[in-house]
A = this chain, B = another copy of it.
Amino acid sequence: MNPRLRAFVGGKTGLWSVMSLRPVLGEGLPESGKVDVVERPAPSVSDGASWVLRGVTSHVRYSAGSERAVLAARQVDVGRPTATRAALIPIRKNAAWWDMPQDDRRRIFEETSRHITIGLKYLPAISRRLHHCRDLSEAEPFDFLTWFDFAPEHASAFEDLVGELRSSEEWTYVDREVDIRLAR
C-alpha cells in the first residue's frame, strides 16, 4: 500500500456530516450522509459505501522555489481542532490539459490563472491538501481531490476562494467537478 494513499468514503459512517453535495461540472456523485477520511485504505473500505474516491499526496508539480518558500511560511496542515468545516472538491481535467507540455500548463496554472497566488491569499485561514488520482493503479473518476478545512467564520472567504478559481482560465480545462461541503 502506498503510504501516501487516502480514501474519501461517502456512506453512512464517518467523522464528517455532508451539508451539501452538488455537481458543478459534469456528472455528480450519489448522495451520502457522511464522509469518512481513511489513511492507507484497505480494499474493503468500499463495502457498503455510496462512493469511494482515492488519491495520493505527492510532490509539487508547478510551484517554483520562491513560491514554495512563501507557501511554507504561511500554510498550516489540515486537521486543526478549530477547523470544523471542510470541503472535498474532486475535479477532472480534459485531454487538452494533459496533452500540453509542462511550460504551457505552468503558464496557465499560475501566470494567467494565479492558482498559487489565490491559495496563498487565504492562508492560513483555509488549509488545503491535494491528492492525485490520475496515476493510481485503478481507473479513477477524477484527476484530483482537494480537501480544504477551515473554521466556520471563514466559510464566506472559502466561497471567494472557489469563486476565484472557477473563473480562471485553468478552469476552462476542468470537465468534471463536484462540490461536497462537510461539518463535524
A183 to B74, CA, bound (A): 54
Q: How far is the CB of A54 from chain B (nearest CB, A)?
A: 7
A51-102 residues with Cβ-Cβ distance < 8 A to B are 54, 56, 58-65, 67-68, 98-102
The 8 Å CB contact of A1, one of B5, B99, B139, is B139
A102: chain B residues within 8 A (beta carbon): 60-64, 106
A59 to B103, CA, bound (A): 12
A103 to B62, CA, bound (A): 8
9 residue pairs A–B, Cβ–Cβ below 8 Å: A1-B137, A2-B135, A56-B135, A58-B134, A58-B135, A60-B101, A61-B102, A63-B102, A65-B100
